[in-house]
Structure 1
Amino acid sequence: MSLGTYRRAVAASVALGVIGGLAATPAYAATPTPSPSSSEVHWSPLGIAAAGECTFPSQDIPSAPWALQRVLLDQLWEGGKTTGAGVTVAVIDTGVDDQNPQLANKVDEGKSLLVDKSTGKPVDGNSKTDTVGHGTKVAGIIAARPYAKTGFVGLAPDARILAIRQNDSQGNGDVNSLIEAIQIAIDKKVGVINISQDVRATDPDGGFAKKPELEAVIKKAEDNDIVVVASSGNDGREGETFPAAFKTVLAVGASDRNNERASFSQYGDFVSVAAPGVEMLSTVPKGGQCVDNGTSFSAPYVAGVAALLKGKYKNWTAAQIRARIEQTAQRTERGPNKFIGWGVVDPVKAVKSTAKAEASPHPDATLKLASAPLVAQPLGLEETQADRDRRTGTYALGLGGLLVAALAGGAIVVRDFRRRQDG
């Protein structure tokens, strides 16, 4: 092979290596914001878009996601005694598909309230129909059972799910259907309600249509000792969202691997706690798992903890369960702040704490603050697929750079050698 041919071959190999390394890094889909459902209300189903190239069914991911790496599951479940058994969590969302093996035979059908606003007709399917995947991911974070093909599992694996299909990727849900969905959950006597969506005020006085009715049904849930958990929103700015901002709702923002507020997480004094919401692995329709981002997936993380506490302390009020989750969160200061509320939820501490039941959290001057954030293992068997893809891409780029440098250096050596011969 001539030197020129060799150089061209090496250059082509380097180019392919660099391009291949870049292609190995997955691209995450941006979360769309549906059009407002009326002139007075901004209705936003949070994180509806599936991340990356997720298809239904998807592959089983064998490694444990980072959000579970920091949780000692045997301690959390107290050797099998505290697993959410006997507790039903209502998932008001895009439906929950129980064809996924991790959700099979544990999803109860509530009702499909989904109506196509353009036609006024009910959308085909029932509450176990999930064409978007959002509700199935939410349900998995709460109650997916252990499965040999994956390291992912729900925080309350023996809890049941009540599926209520109320929204979709087109924003066809509204405040009326949300109110009806919450009432259905109350009538079914669930222990926890998860709402990974919100309505936001756009009128000058901060109100919105049907706010009194929504607040009334939230109060009714509280009166029935149902823990209502809602996501704070994904706009990444300060401002209240509802139902999260109602006083009796556990409003959850998103935290990242460093226990800091995720950049997209809505914040304000209404935020109760934060929970992992970045690169969250969970179940998808028909089987397998995918990764997604958003406060939509932080809320069910907390709802799973609430289900564990509901099962362990059957006589506790909703307020006492909220207070336990808030009081045991990993704090950065003695009291709450508008970014992560009382702190990042600590599932094991919430379940294992022996403190007496309280109706509200409180600042504690003697509380030992977390001196350093918990960081999941960056490499090894427990890394996520995204970690492996990024690492592979980095290695490929680094190797490509070295090869380019070597090629350039070799060319200079050959040039100088020829000059000496010619001289």
Structure 2
Amino acid sequence: MPRGVTRVGALVAVALFTTIAPGLNPAVAVAQDGARPPWAPAGEPGSPPSDPGKPDKQYKQRVKCVQSGVEGHTTVSSNQIQDIPWGQAHLRLDEVHDYVRAHSEHGKIGVNERTGKPLKVAVIDTGVTKHPYLQNRVTAGGDYVQSGDKGKNGLLDCDGHGTQVAGIIGANPKNPDIGFIGVAPDVQIISIRQSSQNFSEKTEEEIKREKEAARAKREAARRQAEARKRQRENQQKIDELQRELEKERQNNDGGDTGASQDSGQRTQGSSSGAGNQKTLAQAIVRAVNKHNVDVINMSVDACRPNTGSTKPVSDEERMLRAAVHYATERDVVVVAAAGNTGGACQQNGVPIQGDPRVTDPNEPRTIVTPPWFSEDLLAVGAIDATGSVADFSMHGPWVSVAAPGTDIISLDPAKGSSALVNVMFEGKQAVRIQGTSFAAPYVAGLAVLVRQMHPELTAREVMHRITTTAQHPGAGDGRDPFIGHGVINPMAALTMTLPEEIGAKPARDVALPSSMPPPDNASPMPVIVALAGSGGGLLALGCTMFAVHTVRRNRAAA
């Protein structure tokens, strides 16, 4: 069980794991045999989509961008937060950082050991606003919400989500008085804005009005240009007449009176929810092809009811699966949040009236993408400060590992802020930051550290190291649909020697014999003799007692 689990939480967790484990064994056995698990998508991934590098639709901003210290979907950042986040302490990141610095060629955390340059993590999210604690380590990676410079090519975070994700991965306050620090504080962040809840698709009427406004603006500019041209022509004529008059006056006066002042005044020119699985797939391809990243973090999900088929039901799902597979095959570690309950994300394994799919983990009620494609990525669930599964974390047989996802401290995403935050406003109510969205970047940061300390490993080998060294749950096969292979253990992931890496056979379940000796099928004669002897003894005892009783009776009669 993870460190910090309460006794009650541990007992409840063990009971849950023991109950669900028998249903998981078949799926794991199939996966170990090399076949695809029954819940996984059928068929081959296919080819990834092309990347146009721009939004697929026209979106319009409906909600103001996040701000500091005011209400209305905004952050609060008055006094600087100095506390160490519980998740950071739970994962022992201070010790992990000391280890990496001591064993790194360059003394940094999150760099390529061969080149000394920062490793690259693509944060495909709502954008990342530049923050002092990210220094100059944030690069504009692309924008699928706004075209051109309006969205600053990924460096505008109106929602305040991507900046906080990036902070968990790579923030570096460089201040001993501040407890918070990112998992890989020297890493390079590539920000690709792929989604936003503050934008939505423009209506046909809005597009028509904008086109009319653009035409009117072009016409006004044309008229202004013509007016300026006529004014310049008139001014030239005036200047020419003035020069002729001045020349004539000089001829009449017979002398030069000095430079004349131009009395004409020159007129200066006057300037009068977005994102889907398709653009997510395109953003993945962009991160791989254009930015050559080492790790991708996606804290965004889509949910739909399970139709009973393991095939993707839409072109978007097929494109997303192909993009994830494409990235992994090109040596990129892909990390995705497992998803939060609510709306279309109906919890798996929880009884609902009229729905019999409550116990079989291979028949989930809800399909969550991209976690559904966990053959090619790490799907991350969330735990709370007790070490138990967070109540909002989506369950599913595709969950790979888990990490802290409650009471989050990270960067204030408001433009111009240098503070940290631990709450967000929903209307007028401040709520603590939580979600599998913030558990995923802990795993993405760990993937960076593994890639630094084990540069010889491929992306799939990095994923295997993270799942193998996790703190496995109390299930019969060491895996369950709540936290997957378990809560990540960064120090073990960096230092543990895996059997397959040294050519040894991995451990496997073996039925051991009982400590009792085997049954003896010897002759039954000793037992017969013993029983006969016992019977004879009882008969002799009976005769003796009869004789004594007879003697006593005769004496009494005499």
Cα offset, 1:259, TM superposition: 1.8
Letter in 2 for 1:250: L
Structure 2 Cα separation of the partners of residues 185 and 225 of structure 1: 12
SS at match of 1:137: helix
- Structure number, greater radius of gyration: 2
- Is the contact between residue 100 and residue 453 of structure 2 (CA under 8 Å) also seen in structure 1? no
**Partner residue in 2 for 1:134:** 161
Tell me which of 145, 149, 158 is aligned to 1:114. Answer: 145
Question: Aligned in 2, Cα 1:50/1:173: closer, same or farther, shift over 3 Å?
Answer: farther
Q: CA deviation at 1:325?
A: 0.9
C-alpha distance in 2 between matches for 1:322 and 1:215: 17
Contact 2:143-2:151 at 8 Å conserved across structures: no
- Alignment partner, residue 367 of structure 2: 240
Q: Which moved more, 1:302-311 or 1:286-295?
A: 286-295
Partner of 1:176: 278
> What is the aligned partner in structure 2 of residue 93 from structure 1?
125
After TM superposition, the structure 1 = structure 2 runs for residues 2-151 of structure 1, keeping only pairs within 5 Å, are 55=75, 59-77=79-97, 78-80=99-101, 81=104, 83-85=109-111, 86-98=118-130, 100-115=131-146, 124-148=151-175, 149-151=177-179
Kindly report which structure 2 residues correspond to 1:264-279, keeping only aligned pairs within 5 A, or say none.
Answer: 264-279=392-407
Match of 2:480 among 310, 326, 337: 337
Q: 2:304 corresponds to which residue?
A: 201
Counterparts in 2 of 1:242 and 1:123: CA distance versus 1, 3 Å:
farther
- String of CA shifts for 1:76-98, please: whole Å, max 9, x gaps: 12151261113110000011111
Q: Is the alpha carbon distance of 1:203 and 1:259 closer, same or farther for their aligned partners in structure 2, counting shifts above 3 Å? A: closer
Partner of 2:325: 219
Aligned partner of 1:344: which letter? Answer: V
Separation (CA, whole Å) in 2 of partners of 1:332 and 1:158: 32
Query: Residues 277 and 364 (structure 1 numbering): CA distance in 2 closer, same or farther, change over 3 Å?
Result: farther
3-state secondary structure, aligned to 1:241:
strand
The question of whether the paired residues in 1 share the 8 Å contact of 2:412 and 2:418 is answered with yes
Identical aligned pairs, as a percentage? 38
Task: Rate the CA distance shift 1:221–1:256 in 2: closer, same or farther, 3 A.
Answer: same
Alpha-carbon deviation of 1:193? 0.2
- Gap runs ≥5 in structure 1: 1-47, 367-423
Distance 1:272 1:49 in 2: 35
Q: Give the equivalent residue in structure 2 for 1:416.
A: none
Tell me if the contact between 1:232 and 1:244 (Cα under 8 Å) persists in the aligned partners.
yes
Measure, in 1, the Cα distance between the counterparts of 2:188 and 2:378: 20
2:452 corresponds to 1:320: no
**Amino acid in the other structure paired with 1:315:** E
Does the C-alpha gap of structure 1 residues 132 and 339 become closer, same or farther in structure 2, counting only changes over 3 Å?
same
Give 1:88's aligned amino acid.
Answer: K
- Residue by residue over 1:219-266, the C-alpha shift from the partner in whole angstroms, topping out at 9 and shown as x without a partner, is 110111100000011017113311111011100011111221100000
Q: Which amino acid aligns with 1:156?
A: A
* Aligned residue among 306, 314, 320 for 2:447: 306
DSSP 3-state at the match of 1:240: strand
Alignment of 1:247-262 (within 5 A): 247-262=375-390
Alpha-carbon distance between aligned partners in 1 of 2:347 and 2:481, rounded to the nearest angstrom: 11
Q: 2:435 aligns with which of 294, 304, 307?
A: 294
What letter is aligned with 1:179? Answer: A
Structure having the higher helix fraction is 2
Deviation at 1:58, TM superposition (A): 5.3
How many angstroms does 1:351 deviate by?
1.4
1:185 corresponds in structure 2 to 287
Contact 1:102/1:146 (<8 A) preserved: yes
Letter of the 2:171 counterpart: A
In the TM superposition, what is the alpha-carbon distance from 1:141 to its structure 2 partner? 0.5
Aligned residue number for residue 39 of structure 1:
none
Partners of 1:115 and 1:173 within 8 A in 2: no
Superposition deviation, residue 70 in structure 1: 2.5
1:51 & 1:365 partners in 2: Cα distance? 56
Deviation at 1:55, TM superposition (A): 2.7
TM-score normalised over the length of structure 2: 0.52
3-state secondary structure, aligned to 1:179:
helix
Amino acid aligned to 1:83 = I
Structure 1 pair 49–192 and aligned structure 2 pair: CA distance change class (3 A): farther
Unaligned runs of 5+ in 2: 1-65, 112-117, 199-272, 349-365, 423-432, 511-558
* CA displacement, residues 295-341 of structure 1 (integer Å, 9 cap, x when unaligned): 00000010000010111122211111111111111122251101110
Relative to structure 1, is the Cα distance of residues 51 and 296 closer, same or farther in structure 2, using a 3 angstrom cutoff? farther
Report the TM-score when normalising by structure 1: 0.68
Distance change (3 Å), C-alpha of 1:49 and 1:263: farther
* Structure 1: distance between partners of 2:67 and 2:497: 40
Q: Is the 1:50–1:134 contact (alpha carbons within 8 Å) kept by the matching residues of 2?
A: no
Quick one: which of 159, 164, 173 aligns to 2:187?
Answer: 159
Q: Is the 8 A contact 1:89 1:193 kept in 2?
A: yes
Q: Which amino acid aligns with 1:354?
A: T
Q: 2 CA distance for matches of 1:363 and 1:94?
A: 43
User: Please, which moves more after superposition, 49-58 or 242-251?
Assistant: 49-58
Cα deviation per residue 1:57-81 (whole Å; 9 max; x = unaligned)?
6542111111112343343121512
Amino acid across the alignment from 1:69: A
Contact 2:403 2:488 in 1 (8 A): yes
Query: Does the 8 A contact of 1:56 with 1:287 survive in 2?
Result: no
State the 1:49 CA deviation.
Answer: 12
Describe the SS at the equivalent of 1:181. helix
Contact 2:68 2:77 in 1 (8 A): no
Q: CA deviation at 1:52?
A: 11
Per-residue deviation at 1:205?
5.0
| 8 Å contact from structure 1 (residues 49, 134) kept in 2 | no
1:363 Cα deviation (Å)?
7.7
